[in-house]
Amino acid sequence: MDKLNKIAGLAVILTSSLFSISSYATWQKDKTYNITILHTNDHHGRFWHNTEGEYGLAAQKTLVDQIRKEVNEKGGSLLLLSGGDINTGVPESDMLNAEPDFIGMSKIGYDAMALGNHEFDNPLSVLRQQQQWANFPLLSANLYEKKTNKRVFDPYALFDKQGLKIAVIGLTTEDTMIISNPKNFEGLEFRDPKIEAQKVINELKKTEKPDIIIAATHMGHYDNGQHGSNAPGDVELARFIQRGDLDMIVGGHSQNPVCMESINQSQKNYIPGTPCIPDQQNGTWIVQAHEWGKYVGRADFTFRNGLFTLINYQLIPVNLKKAEKDANGKTSYSNYTSEIVRDSEMVALLTPYQKKGEEKLNIVIGHSQIDLEGERDKVRYEQTNLGQLVVRAAMDRTDADFGVIGGGGIRASLKAGDLTYRDILTVQPFGNLIGYAEMKGQALINYITAVANRKVGSGGYPQWANITFTHHQDGSVTDIMIGGKPLDINKQYRFSLPDYHADGGDGYPILKHYINTGFVDAEVLKGYIEKNSPITADFLK
Ligand SMILES: [Zn+2]
């Protein structure tokens, strides 16, 4: 079967539907209701468009307004949901605690969002402030205060749409506990979202009796529930919930467009503007709109006599552009789909924030008493003090015993004197993410040996911290010392490294059990310099 036929085969599923029994319904018999669910996820500070003019809340506003108008004119209703992770990823937004993002989303008219793990990158007080900026509810049914056994945020929100009662439940990945800063949720715990979801649904069925139940989640979509070293995601959730109890999952966290190629198999290289069939598991539709507001997902449903049926689904690109190189190697960009004009009111609202964010990048965040070496002809050939600093920052954030990064990940030097965030972004401009792995015994020795043998002069040449060893001519490695002590063959060690290398970049061994914290490298380095300023030669010994 070719791919198109497969998709056509899958499209048949679109017309099948799920029967929800609702004996207390206020809807009218034999009336067809039109309900459109719009969704985004993993916004990560992208309130402003990028240099190519892709995404951004101003264009998103125009698109949502258009759809809203169209749906209203046809007498339908609309809900706009987010799968969470509004925070972290763009310095201008980070510097302002994502205020422009929450203000902008409020203006667009978001109805509810799930709390993502990155909502906990800041202390809870910042999240409470963001809750004030947002005119829509921030939901998580599975976050509890241990002492009181009470939920910290609202578990769900209810919407009345033309007499139809729609419940939206928020769920957050349990991985938040291991990938975020534990200081930000002292006394709190994330419980199993699957169990909490069923609990809330059972309650709702007794009390509010919603006609439609949607979960806005930040748990990730993993094909056929193969979640690897991540906590279980949306597929596992849908399979766990009693069939018929959950109509739809608006997801996030794995940051992929959920467009299925065949049953349990998503398309690997989804092309913007092409048809997209969402996943369906145990009768529950699962959608996700990649990341950063690159798309607005649009699901058009009908509701008739208790039947909630998906009629049409689309991922609508927000000014995504195809990059093409001409004969001279010059890159040009063209839209995948027609250009969406930016909403002028939104541009006016966000411009001062963008300017303020840019200015904040010039604020001094720390001081170095020494020149920090990051030149290409150094970091790819020998251990440097900046390599040391970068790796120690990652180790500190991940609580690791030692750490490594390929020298190619360091792109500039820092001169002795005051340091700004803008300076730091020149050192780590790529926005790689920091994480860690744990290993012991021979596996660890093999890993260290493989990395130690990355070629001198290449981007993979490793910068190490808190580990020493003798590297022999034949490639072998002996006398490994971690934290000044000989490697203990029975002890499990934790080491930090960027996701790029964990994924096999620069020829590093691919790590199957890698915990990605989602922290951006430059932000980690900034935090470390702030904490340890001034940087002295002594400090980096
Ligand atoms: Zn996430």
pLDDT in tens, 224-234: 999 987 899 99
State residue 25's pLDDT score. 60
Cα(288) to ligand 1 centroid in Å equals 12
Alpha helices in 339-433 (DSSP H): 344-360, 376-379, 385-398, 421-427
Cα(220) to ligand 1 centroid in Å equals 8
Q: For the chain, give the longest Cα–Cα distance.
A: 81
State residue 203's pLDDT score. 98
pLDDT over 70, % of the chain = 95
Cα(176) to ligand 1 centroid in Å equals 8
Kindly state the average pLDDT of the residues 499-519: 92
SS (H, E, C) 198-267: HHHHHHHHHCCCCCEEEEEEECCCCHHHCCCCCCCCHHHHHHHCCCCCCCEEECCCCCCECCEEECCEEC
Do 364-532 and 3-357 fall under one CATH topology?
A: no
pLDDT digits (tens, 9 = 90+) for 452-461: 999 998 889 9
State residue 17's pLDDT score. 41
Q: How far apart are CA 373 and CA 368, in angstroms?
A: 12
Give the CA-trace dihedral at 400, 127, 518, 294, to 10 degrees: -170
Q: Does a cis peptide bond (omega within 30 degrees of 0) precede residue 272?
A: no
Cα(149) to ligand 1 centroid in Å equals 25
State residue 229's pLDDT score. 79
Please give the DSSP secondary-structure letter assigned to residue 289: B
Give the architecture (CATH level 2) of 3-357.
4-Layer Sandwich (3.60)
Cα(118) to ligand 1 centroid in Å equals 6
Checking if the pLDDT of 15 tops 70, the result is: no
Cα(144) to ligand 1 centroid in Å equals 19
State residue 13's pLDDT score. 45
Q: What is the DSSP string of 128-190?
A: HHHHHH-SS-EE-SSEEETTTTEESSBSEEEEEETTEEEEEEEEE-TTHHHHS-GGGGTTEEE
Q: Which residues are marked as active site?
A: 42, 44, 85, 117-118, 121, 218, 253, 255, 376, 380, 411
Q: How far apart are CA 393 and CA 456, in angstroms?
A: 23
Q: Give the three-state DSSP class for 305.
A: coil
Cα(377) to ligand 1 centroid in Å equals 36
Cα(211) to ligand 1 centroid in Å equals 29
In degrees, rounded to 5, the angle at the alpha carbon of residue 229 between the alpha carbons of residues 86 and 464 is 85
Confidence band for 148, pLDDT divided at 50, 70 and 90 = very high
Considering only CA atoms, which of 386, 457, 366 is closest in space to residue 427?
Answer: 386
Kindly state the average pLDDT of the residues 475-499: 97
Q: Could you tell me the CA-to-CA distances from 76 to 67, 72, 241 in Å, in that order?
A: 11, 5, 28
Give residues with Cβ within 8 angstroms of 180, minimum separation 6.
Answer: 117, 118, 120, 121, 517
Q: Locate tokens 């596996």: which residue?
A: 443
State residue 19's pLDDT score. 43
Q: Which two tokens stand for residue 372?
A: 């920090």
Start-to-end Cα distance in the chain: 62
Give residues with Cβ within 8 angstroms of 43, minimum separation 6.
Answer: 82, 85, 86, 101, 105, 291, 292, 293
Q: What is the mean pLDDT of the chain?
A: 93
State residue 326's pLDDT score. 87
Checking if the pLDDT of 252 tops 70, the result is: yes
Cα(33) to ligand 1 centroid in Å equals 34
Per-domain residue ranges for the chain? 3-357, 364-532
Question: Half-sphere exposure (CA, 13 Å, Cβ side) for 207?
Answer: 9
Q: Please name every residue paired with 413 in a beta bridge, in sequence order, or none if there are none.
A: none
Cα(305) to ligand 1 centroid in Å equals 37
Considering only CA atoms, which of 249, 241, 252 is closest in space to residue 197?
Answer: 241
Q: Which residue has the higher pLDDT, 8 or 487?
A: 487
pLDDT digits (tens, 9 = 90+) for 67-105: 999 999 999 999 999 999 999 889 899 999 999 999 999
Q: Which residue has the higher pLDDT, 289 or 512?
A: 289
**Class (C level, CATH) for 364-532:** alpha beta
State residue 429's pLDDT score. 83
State residue 443's pLDDT score. 97
Cα(64) to ligand 1 centroid in Å equals 24
Cα(254) to ligand 1 centroid in Å equals 7
Q: How many CB atoms lie within 10 A of CB 337?
A: 12
Cα(163) to ligand 1 centroid in Å equals 34
Kindly state the average pLDDT of the residues 361-377: 94
Cα(42) to ligand 1 centroid in Å equals 7
State residue 396's pLDDT score. 96
Considering only CA atoms, which of 103, 89, 84, 98 is closest in space to residue 41?
Answer: 84
Cα(192) to ligand 1 centroid in Å equals 16
Q: How far apart are CA 377 and CA 428, in angstroms?
A: 16
